Each structure stands twice: as structure tokens, then as C-alpha cells.
Amino acid sequence: MEGAAGGMRSRDWVDFLSSDIVKGGFVDAMMETINLQIQQTNHLHGIVSVEDLSFSHALRYDTARWKKYKFDPGFSRLRHMGNVLCDRTQGQVLFPINIKDTHWTLFSMNGVNHQ
């Protein structure tokens, strides 16, 4: 395997298929694969953004931290992506999110359709 999964062997994926908690390396490898595909697809390059886990972590900040949204550096990427989605210069944002430290899903936000 290449990229973020470069050091993984096929037996390393057994954990991914089990009921155990998924390790962050698997998610990094999956997101990197999606990102590579987007970079190699001309009509998607530049209008689709693939975000890492820090993007979804910012969504989980506590209420006290959200009150500092405009100034807190932890929100910088979230603010930027919100702006480009709102003004429709970014077509789509894909980002992973963890549910109860066990399950993973991929969220997609569409800036053109505001969905």
C-alpha cells in the first residue's frame, strides 16, 4: 500500500473488520485515498476539499470554546470552510466523524446546493 497506508500489511486490516475500536491510522489512510482520487480527477480538483479529523474535532468543542469561535485558532479551518461554502467558491467538503468512539461516517457538505 502507498500513502498514509504505506506501513500497513493486509493482516493489519483484520482489526478494521472486527468489532474493535477503529484506529485513527485506518481513517487517515481512507481519507488520504479519497483525497488522492480527488486530486487526480480534473473536474473535482479545486472544488472538493477533503478534511482531516481536526475538522470534525472542532465541531465537538464545548460551549465555552464555541463562544470564542471568531478568535479561537482551533476554529480557523472551520471558519475558512464555512466562508467558502457560504460564498459558493467551494463546491463540496468531505470529512470523517467518529460516533461514540466506535463507528465512523463520512459527511459531505455541498456549497452549491447548501446541503
Cell representation of residue 32: 488520504
Supply the range of the domain harboring residue 106: 3-110
Q: Rounded distance, CA 115 to CA 98, Å?
A: 20
- Residue indicated by cell numbers 473536474: 43
Residue 4 confidence (pLDDT) above 60: no
Q: Rounded distance, CA 82 to CA 10, Å?
A: 38
Helical H segments across the chain, by residue range: 14-17, 24-39, 53-59, 63-66, 76-86
Residue 94 confidence (pLDDT) above 90: no
Please tell me the predicted confidence (pLDDT) of residue 22.
59
In Å, how far are 52, 55, 66, 101 from 82, measured between CA atoms? 15, 11, 15, 26
115 belongs to a structural domain: no
Counting the structural domains of the chain, the total is 1
The mean pLDDT of the chain is: 77
Q: What is the pLDDT of residues 31-83, one digit of tens each?
A: 778 888 888 888 887 788 888 777 778 888 999 999 999 999 988 888 888 88
103 belongs to a structural domain: yes
- What pLDDT band is residue 102 in, cutting at 50, 70 and 90? low
